[in-house]
Amino acid sequence: MKQLLTPKRLTINIGLALLLLITVMFACSIIGTETVSLKAVFSGSGSQASVNPDYEIFVRIRLPRIILAGLVGAALACAGAVFQVLLRNPLADPYILGISSGAGLGAVIAVISGFNWTLWGRSPIAVFAFAGALGTVWLVWFIGRLTGKFHVTGLLLAGVVVNAFFSALMMFLTSIAKSDQVYATIFWLMGNMTEGDFLALWISAGCVIGGIAALFHISPQLNALSFGADDARIMGVNIFKTRTIAFGIAAGITAVAVSLSGLIGFVGLVVPHGIRLIFGPDHRQLIPLSGIVGAIFLIVADTLARIIVAPAQLPVGVVTAIIGGPFFLILLVKYSRKVSWLK
Amino acid sequence: MSGIIEVENLSFGYISESIILKDMSFEVAQGAFIAIVGPNGAGKSTLLNLMCQVLRPKSGMIRIDSKPIGSYGTQALAEKVAVVRQEFVPIFGFSVMETVLMARTPYYSPMGFERQADREIVDDALKSTDTAQFASRPLTSLSSGERQRVFIARALAQNSLIMLLDEPTNFLDLKHQVGIYDLLKTAQVEKGKTIIAVTHDINLAAQYCDEILLLGTDSSYHFGKTKTVFLPEKIKEIFKVDIFAGKVGQESFFIPLGKYAKNGKQINYESRGSEP
């Protein structure tokens, strides 16, 4: 038995989730290798001569990193939810159409060519990974269209083939690279939060939040699409427009996330399913809650990555996989009776 | 006054060498209940898909409400034509209410929620299909008869003039078969819907439908009043099977006779005797 989603319920649920997000952000910004005194933070940045270290750590290091983790988590979780409905496949994640290998290839090329410049505060690795990710999605979309109008199977196969090909190229380049370059590449591939420039952070935040808002806007159409393209069109939904917008935005915010933090797995798969199991499949609720919970998930994971082996740091991708896997299994067992597609 | 659906010289084939529908023309009057009947591969579902633009004709023309079907936008066509396809379950577990509400998606408010009018239309559709009592249950927890009624409710909630159904009584037991046809007849009589159903059940079609479109595998077709199309010789010829035809009250029925039918000759004799 479940109740119908009403604007009031949706607003309350989103509000509560946002409250939780803010609490988590606040809690995680206090935790760390250095103890930060809040009182000291609020006393300001200090003068030119004597910098206030608490303020510096809090505002310049921890806060940007937490915002970054939140953005990446939100983007990956929403993109995962969208790819799952577009491809009508519960196993889909943001990387399913070859974004991971495209971004990886871009990163490897950047590392090997040894570029040394920045664009909007981002390193060549980030810029190349972004371009690689978007280029790959475009290529997969293009090949998918050649096989038919929008054949899910065609798209998935194109994704698998492009993925395999780019992975092979990536391995080839890694095998001829110098060892320190290989290390940089592998470290990037594992997924990491690195404190970046504020400008890059704000631009990415705009892209991700705007993208999620647009996805929310088309969420009733995504609901209809879960019944398949023909059914959705029969009900009067413009499937070409819906699919193009959903596909473009999901790929775009994934590319932004990948360029910010490398390849972080599991968020895009675990979070949407968790939300679906607890709150149901309605995309009007699924999209915003996935975004917020994805942010919380990655902020917590990144905080763990910072403190578990302090003063060293773990790649956050390792943490998400280690806590995401069992967490998902518990959800799966506990709620599988509620949900039909698991049968 | 022309019909609500006009099919004019329609031809279609999935590959260029083989034509399934050839030079077909017929007209469906508003408020009629029509069955499309014929052997497997005769193009029944194909014709249905052409009438809702899932497929495009190779040549010829289909007009809906006197405008060419191609001139409609997606939403405008959904206002004219609703379709119940062969039973189909979505990938995620939506409830009955959520499923039926989806028919109103194009009319949602800018915030993405249904309006009061949409709720009323959906409540009405749930009530008339007798699905309101399990409105909050997930679609997958229903039996196939119940689920079929939900999809009919969704089609009703589109508030369209025309309703197309692809084998609506597939996999249903006798009671539920009759239940579905009663439901459709009520929609025709009370709501003035034009209903076109693809079916394998000649007997139910004979009982409920005003007109029959009988398709043959050789691209031949017969269209007309049920009584004039459903003649034993014609059914025998199109389906290539022996038929026993009889009458109960005013209803005609047809029973196929296989190779091992016992005492087949005598029944064949009977069948000839019962012809008008």
- What does the pLDDT look like over B198-223, one tens digit per residue? 999 999 999 999 999 999 988 899 99
C-alpha B179/C-alpha B166 separation (Å) is 16
Amino acid B87: pLDDT: 67
Residues B114 and B190 sit within 8 Å (Cβ to Cβ): no
Amino acid B269: pLDDT: 44
C-alpha A27/C-alpha A17 separation (Å) is 15
Longest pairwise C-alpha distance within chain B: 69
Name the region of B10 (left: φ>0; alpha: ψ -120 to 50; beta: rest).
Answer: beta
- Quick: pLDDT tens for B115-166: 999 999 999 999 988 899 999 888 888 888 888 899 999 999 999 999 999 9
Give domain limits for chain A. 7-335
CB nearest to A281's CB, from B52, B94, B105: B94
**Amino acid found at A53:** P
C-alpha A225/C-alpha B228 separation (Å) is 42
Amino acid B275: pLDDT: 45
- Please answer yes or no on whether B78 and A234 come within 8 Å at the CB atom: yes
- The CA distances from residue A291 to A14, A191, A277, B72, in Å, are 10, 19, 16, 37
Phi first, then psi, for residue B194 (nearest 5°) are -90, 125
Amino acid B151: pLDDT: 92
Tally DSSP H helices, then E strands, for chain A: 15, 0
Residues B54 and B69 sit within 8 Å (Cβ to Cβ): no
> Which residues of chain A lie closer than 8 angstroms to B94, CB-CB?
223, 226, 280-282
Amino acid A121: pLDDT: 59
Query: How confident is residue A114, by pLDDT bands cut at 50, 70 and 90?
Result: confident
Amino acid A136: pLDDT: 92
Residues B64 and B162 sit within 8 Å (Cβ to Cβ): yes
Residues B39 and B216 sit within 8 Å (Cβ to Cβ): yes
The second-level CATH assignment, the architecture, of B5-230 is 3-Layer(aba) Sandwich (3.40)
- Across the A/B interface, how many CB contacts are shorter than 8 Å? 106
C-alpha B175/C-alpha B177 separation (Å) is 5
Choose between B79 and A314: higher pLDDT.
B79
Amino acid A201: pLDDT: 86
Amino acid B33: pLDDT: 96
B102, B104, B147: best to mutate for the A interface, most A CBs within 10 A: B102
Amino acid B172: pLDDT: 84
Give domain limits for chain B. 5-230, 231-276
In the predicted structure, residue A293 carries a pLDDT above the cut 50: yes
ipTM of the complex, rounded to two decimals: 0.84
- Quick: pLDDT tens for A84-94: 999 888 778 88
Residue the block writes with tokens 């000759």: B265
- Please answer yes or no on whether B112 and A90 come within 8 Å at the CB atom: no
Instruction: Find, among B37, B48, B71, the residue nearest to B162 by Cα.
Output: B48
Which chain B residues touch A if contact means CB-CB below 8 Å?
52, 54, 73-75, 77-79, 81-83, 85, 88-95, 97-99, 101-103, 105-106, 108, 111-113, 136-141, 154, 158
- Quick: pLDDT tens for A10-51: 999 999 999 999 999 989 988 877 777 777 777 766 666 677
**Amino acid found at B276:** P
Percent of chain A having pLDDT more than 90?
33
**Average pLDDT of the residues in B102-113:** 88
Which chain A residues touch B if contact means CB-CB below 8 Å?
1-4, 6-7, 85, 88-90, 216-217, 219-221, 223-224, 226-228, 230-231, 233-239, 276, 280-282, 284, 338-341, 343
Strand partners, B243: B256
C-alpha A133/C-alpha A95 separation (Å) is 9
CATH of domain A7-335: 1.10.3470.10
- Please answer yes or no on whether B113 and A230 come within 8 Å at the CB atom: no
- Quick: pLDDT tens for B16-26: 778 889 999 99
Instruction: Find, among B214, B198, B218, the residue nearest to B18 by Cα.
Output: B218
A89, A227, A332, A343: best to mutate for the B interface, most B CBs within 10 A: A227
Q: How long a stretch of residues is chain B? A: 276
In the predicted structure, residue A1 carries a pLDDT above the cut 50: no
Residue A337, burial from CB neighbour count under 10 angstroms (0-12, 13-18, 19+): exposed
Compute and round to an integer the Cα radius of gyration of chain A: 21
**Residue B145 parent element (H or E):** helix B144-157
Question: β-pairing, B81-84 with B242-248?
Answer: unpaired
Instruction: Find, among A245, A108, A110, A117, the residue nearest to A167 by Cα.
Output: A108
Phi first, then psi, for residue B97 (nearest 5°) are -60, -45
Amino acid A125: pLDDT: 82
- Beta carbons within 10 angstroms of residue A256's beta carbon: 26
Query: How confident is residue B54, by pLDDT bands cut at 50, 70 and 90?
Result: confident
- Quick: pLDDT tens for A124-157: 888 888 899 999 989 988 888 887 666 778 888 8
Question: β-pairing, B81-84 with B162-166?
Answer: parallel
Residues 6+ apart with CB under 8 A from A283: A81, A85, A219, A220, A222, A223
Alpha-carbon dihedral B99, A219, A143, A153, rounded to 10 degrees: -30
Amino acid B274: pLDDT: 46
> Which residues of chain A lie closer than 8 angstroms to B142, CB-CB?
none
- Quick: pLDDT tens for A207-237: 999 999 999 999 999 999 998 888 899 999 9
- Quick: pLDDT tens for B9-48: 999 998 877 888 999 999 999 999 999 999 998 999 999 9
CB nearest to A224's CB, from B88, B97, B105: B105
A3, A89, A230, A234: best to mutate for the B interface, most B CBs within 10 A: A234
Search chain A and give the residue with CA nearest B93: A340
Instruction: Find, among A165, A105, A130, the residue nearest to A258 by Cα.
Output: A130
